Chains A and B, each alone.
Chain A
């Protein structure tokens, strides 16, 4: 099993959700997060004074899938969230040791 964490632009959540639904991903979790990458922060103006925003808003998507699905999921997230501009985000793939569905107690791939 793989645990896929994607940091994407807030405006791309809907597209990623639709793309993952289409390839049969049965659940995902999103979180509003703030951070910086190579893009760094940005400069804003307020009442005539410049200020730097160090952490930009992003959405973190987390999804647990079987190992054979992982490649398809990563590709789907990439395609759906790509704009080609700096700041599109990153996708991390982690090995997932186990999972459990709380209601039934099922474990492993059964629980996904």
Chain B
């Protein structure tokens, strides 16, 4: 009965609007607030699903004896990010002008607080923008994505709890502090650094943290033997491919939502452009890797094509709005090229990155950030380069110190026999496919 009343009331309101052309033409002020919040919620759950994408990609590219562990790390890191970002991260990232060190360190230390239950427009934190709850939800998903990047690179040899401790520090402190420099209105933003959805702020940061971890952790046993690289093929390529499609889908939210507004014709048009460009770049990256692996190795390598699509997505993330579809495809294609050339390069340095997270997120992230001035005249190469270096040095050094302390205090690596047996059996006592005979 109550429901029916509401329904007929809203219908009356709709008819009322239709009958008054002047009102139907423009969105009222709180309409912008509602539409912006809707964008954050929609984009936020798309980005949330990227956690599933990372999880499947990684589960597919590890060997079957480490599958349960990789799944466990992914669900755990996503949950820990939610706690770390709530406890201190959100306010570290968005000081809203209250700095303890101007432009460098937020002056707001404390938990994230949403608007009260059932507020009116007067009580909204920022009626010209969006609900705090939707903004928090959306931004948390970016923070969690950063942590997801790390887990793939360090797979098959890192202990569970030390990894999760690093995840907490990354999501509560390292990611939010550097993100405040750009997205919180800090000194990089003041300098004119442009990074639309986070080629540097999210992807390179995840990549730098992963690189520091991979260096301190060392390669998997038997990966580099007698000066040769010993490949360890992933157990489940259908799952890895599904993971990439999920990430590809989620990326529309990642980049589209970063328009941060959907309440005007211009904003809706821009969000739409971003969706189309994001897809174009992924396609460009995949095609580049497809062709290049055929030409260089004589056969197409699916895992490289998957990485190529992701590298295309990372490459367009710093500027998904201003390029044309053609330029977006090319920016993505360069990302795909980067992957095919840098995966073997990391092996030359004996840096064992199980899923290619460092080429995809760090190196393509740097490329994407450098590509911004190609289509956006507000950006310049100098500022982009300086910002990449500042964020890189900060994240790499702090992550390295944190990894080193965790290693010294708790140890980060499983024993040799546990690694050979597989982390599923040795660390968890639970196999992914217990009914398969070996």
Question: Contact residues of A with B, CB < 8 Å?
Answer: 44-51
CB of B343 within 8 A of CB of A48, answer: yes
B269 contacts A by Cβ under 8 Å: no
Q: How distant is the Cα of A47 from the Cα of B296 in the complex, in angstroms?
A: 11
Q: Which residues of A contact B233 (CB under 8 A)?
A: 46
Bound together, the chains give a CA A47 to CA B299 distance in angstroms of 11
| Interface residues, chain B, with chain A CB atoms under 8 Å away | 228-231, 233, 296-299, 301, 303-304, 340, 343-344, 347, 356
- B230 contacts A48, CB within 8 Å? no
Additional A-B contacts beyond A45-B231, A48-B340 (9; CB < 8 A):
A45-B299, A45-B301, A46-B233, A46-B303, A47-B304, A48-B301, A48-B304, A48-B344, A49-B347
Residue from A44, A47, A50, A51 in contact with B343 in the complex, judged by beta carbons closer than 8 Å: A47
Query: What chain B residues lie within 8 Å of A47 (beta carbons)?
Result: 231, 301, 303-304, 343-344, 356
- Contact assessment for A49 and B229 in the assembled complex, using a CB-CB cutoff below 8 Å: yes
Chain A contact residues: over half helix, strand or loop, or mixed? strand
Chain B hits for A48, CB < 8 A: 296-297, 301, 304, 340, 343-344, 347
When A and B form their complex, which 9 residue pairs have the shortest distance between CB atoms, in order from nearest? A46-B231, A48-B344, A49-B229, A51-B231, A49-B231, A45-B297, A46-B233, A47-B343, A48-B343
Whether B347 pairs with A46 at a CB distance below 8 angstroms is: no
Cβ distance A46 to chain B, nearest Cβ, rounded Å: 4
CA distance A30 to B69 in the complex (A): 35
Q: How far is the CB of A49 from chain B (nearest CB, A)?
A: 4
Task: Write the chain A residue with the least CB distance to B61.
Answer: A47
Q: Which residues of B contact A46 (CB under 8 A)?
A: 231, 233, 301, 303
Q: Which residues of A contact B228 (CB under 8 A)?
A: 49
Q: B residues within 8 A CB of A49?
A: 228-231, 344, 347
How far, in angstroms, from A47 to B223 measured CA to CA in the complex? 13
Interface centre among B231, B296, B303 (most CB of A within 10 A): B231
A47, A49, A50, A51 pick with most chain B CB within 10 angstroms: A47
Instruction: Report A-chain residues with C-beta under 8 Å of the C-beta of B297.
Output: 45, 48
Complex interface: chain A residues within 8 A of B298 (CB): 45
Closest Cβ of chain A to B182, distance in Å, is 33
A110 to B343, CA, bound (A): 63
Docked CA distance A50–B231 (Å): 7
- Interchain CA distance A72-B296 in the complex, whole Å: 49
The smallest beta-carbon distance between B66 and chain A, in angstroms, is 17
Chain A residues with CB under 8 Å of B344's CB are: 47-49
Question: Can you list 25 pairs linking A and B with CB atoms under 8 Å apart?
Answer: A44-B231, A45-B231, A45-B297, A45-B298, A45-B301, A46-B231, A46-B233, A46-B303, A47-B301, A47-B303, A47-B343, A47-B356, A48-B296, A48-B297, A48-B304, A48-B340, A48-B343, A48-B344, A49-B228, A49-B229, A49-B230, A49-B347, A50-B231, A51-B230, A51-B231
Contacts of B231 in A (CB 8 A): 44-47, 49-51
Q: Complex: how many Å from CA A50 to CA B347?
A: 12
Bound Cα distance from A47 to B343, whole angstroms: 7
